[in-house]
Structure 1
Amino acid sequence: MLIDAHIHLEQYQEKEIPALLEEVEQVIAVSMNLASCEKTLMLSKTYAKVKAAFGFHPEQALPSNIEVEALFDWISHHADEMVAVGEVGLPYYLKQDKSIDYHPYMALLERFIVLAKELEKPIVLHAVYEDAALACDLLEKHQVTKAHFHWFKGDEEVIQRMIDKGYFISVTPDCTYEMEIQQLIKKYPLELIMVETDGPWPFEGPFDNKRTSSRMMNHSIEVIASIKGLSTQEAAKMIIQNTKSFYNL
């Protein structure tokens, strides 16, 4: 029974959730915006296995100033009911499609990092490739060490920088067919790795046309174990412990 370290549980149909949760020990349910935070909180109150994280997903238009203040006020009010600030980060994929001003996104991310430090909570980051270096700059500026880069991709320099700082990553089922992720697993210390689905995001390869579920993480564990030269049981045990320790579960 693994722990799904990153899932958008509120995006599944309500009738799907009980069966999804049967497959795991616990899930870290991240949020997209204020409405998503509210729904995630409700799910955490309904299901003991659901641990909530509150934030604003960066791959969307920025909220207005009024919406930002409402979100931060809400998160602060419900701080005791969450295990982390997240998902937050920078809009790497959004900027591939259109020209956007990065400064407001950077400012918002910095504010979330400051909030995580004030609340003494871990932070869940969407920051890949060159954006990961920018996120590291802000984490280091504010001396935030408990950072989880989900579905991470990056170059050798930023990978080593993150390892040196003790930042965690989580691996999705795409590790079964993506050489880039397999190389990342080879380089990254097992004690800093978790597994996730990012569900309901769909996957390819052996998961093509299948509804994303947490049982897919079993395949991720097999890949990680093979790369690290361990049994699946050994790899699973360590990854579960990593996740529990990081999120204080």
Structure 2
Amino acid sequence: MHQDLHEVIEKSRKAGVQAFVSVTEQENEFEKVIGLAERYPGSVMPCFGVHPIQSGAEGQRSATVQDLESALPLFEKYKDKLVAVGEVGLDFTPWLAPTALQREEQQRVLALQLALAKQLALPVNVHSRSAGRQTIAFLKEEGVQDALLHNFAGRPSVALEGVRVGYYFSFPPAVTGHDQRAKLIKQIPLENICLETDSPSLGPKKEERNEPENIGIVCRYIADVKGVPVERVREATTKNALKLFPKIKQHLKE
């Protein structure tokens, strides 16, 4: 996508996308996201976060506090540019975090970033693979008020626990191929739903690169699942996103 980034952004703008909330997964991506925000001011909105699963030369592994420590100075350096802290969370996929010690370490990494988000008065963008119930319970325990559970795949009963706290749930185009996710979307109030693409992953076709312009696909899908007009979903999810990420408004005006 680096080769045709400008083309991707322009196509997305023509499709009606005004803001691109760009998250990181590890410290070496922080400066890259800031570079994009500087190249596309008022369009690319940066978020910093250390993901619970880290990638390196030896493959994927569970995150440690050391992964976060080296990133902390960058949070401080760019705090005025950030619209959220993310992508953070818990990932208890058995082959990625098989031990209790690894899962406890992930919780320490998450707790530190939740505290940082509170300090910076920012919402959090949260990953919760194979840990939906544990993640929502942890957010509640830590007193988090403003959270987006991205690509949530837990049980509807668990999601509704988050709804009661006021959390939001976002869904990418990939959900169009999962009947189970339709059941979840039906039960979550539209007032708690946001749209996402998670580009370049989680597109409508697994083998194809996903792009931000595909956000319209999930908008139409949610409208079909809920039996409401597409425009209603577009308006509600835009309102939700601006409420959850208030700094987006500020950056759009710059």
Q: TM-score range with shorter-chain normalisation?
A: 0.7 to 0.9
Q: Is the 8 A contact 2:173 2:218 kept in 1?
A: yes
- Alpha-carbon distance between aligned partners in 2 of 1:218 and 1:34, rounded to the nearest angstrom: 31
For 1:3, the equivalent position in structure 2 comes to: none
Find the residue that maps to 2:114 and give its secondary structure: helix
- Alpha-carbon distance between aligned partners in 1 of 2:110 and 2:66, rounded to the nearest angstrom: 17
For 2:32, the equivalent position in structure 1 comes to: 39
- Alpha-carbon distance between aligned partners in 2 of 1:237 and 1:246, rounded to the nearest angstrom: 14
Percent identity (aligned): 25
TM-score (normalised: structure 2): 0.85
For 2:104, the equivalent position in structure 1 comes to: 103
Cα-to-partner distance string for 1:163-185 (whole Å, 9 max, x where unaligned): 11111111111222111111111
For 2:121, the equivalent position in structure 1 comes to: 120
Cα-to-partner distance string for 1:169-219 (whole Å, 9 max, x where unaligned): 111112221111111110101111111111111545xx3533211222211
Stretches of structure 2 that go unaligned for 5 or more consecutive residues are 55-60, 249-254
Q: What does 1:1-249 align with in structure 2 at a 5 Å threshold? A: 12-13=1-2, 15-22=3-10, 23=12, 24-48=17-41, 49-60=43-54, 61-62=61-62, 67-93=67-93, 95-97=94-96, 99-100=98-99, 101-129=102-130, 131-203=131-203, 207-248=205-246, 249=248
Stretches of structure 1 that go unaligned for 5 or more consecutive residues are 1-11
Cα-to-partner distance string for 1:33-70 (whole Å, 9 max, x where unaligned): 11101111111111121000001111223566554322
RMSD of aligned residue pairs (Cα, Å): 1.8
- Alpha-carbon distance between aligned partners in 1 of 2:154 and 2:202, rounded to the nearest angstrom: 21
- Alpha-carbon distance between aligned partners in 1 of 2:215 and 2:25, rounded to the nearest angstrom: 22
From the superposition, tell whether residues 19 and 147 of structure 1 become closer, same or farther in structure 2 (CA, over 3 Å).
Answer: same
Q: Is the 8 A contact 1:202 1:210 kept in 2?
A: no
- Structure with the higher fraction of residues in helix conformation: 1
Find the residue that maps to 2:24 and give its secondary structure: coil
From the superposition, tell whether residues 98 and 108 of structure 1 become closer, same or farther in structure 2 (CA, over 3 Å).
Answer: closer
Q: Is the 8 A contact 2:65 2:108 kept in 1?
A: no
Find the residue that maps to 2:71 and give its secondary structure: helix
- Alpha-carbon distance between aligned partners in 2 of 1:197 and 1:38, rounded to the nearest angstrom: 22
Shift of 1:96: 3.3
TM-score (normalised: structure 1): 0.86
- Alpha-carbon distance between aligned partners in 1 of 2:6 and 2:32, rounded to the nearest angstrom: 15
Shift of 1:142: 2.7
Find the residue that maps to 1:82 and give its secondary structure: coil
Q: Is the 8 A contact 2:222 2:233 kept in 1?
A: yes
Q: Is the 8 A contact 1:174 1:181 kept in 2?
A: no
Q: Give the letter aligned to residue 55 of structure 1.
A: G
- Alpha-carbon distance between aligned partners in 2 of 1:67 and 1:234, rounded to the nearest angstrom: 41
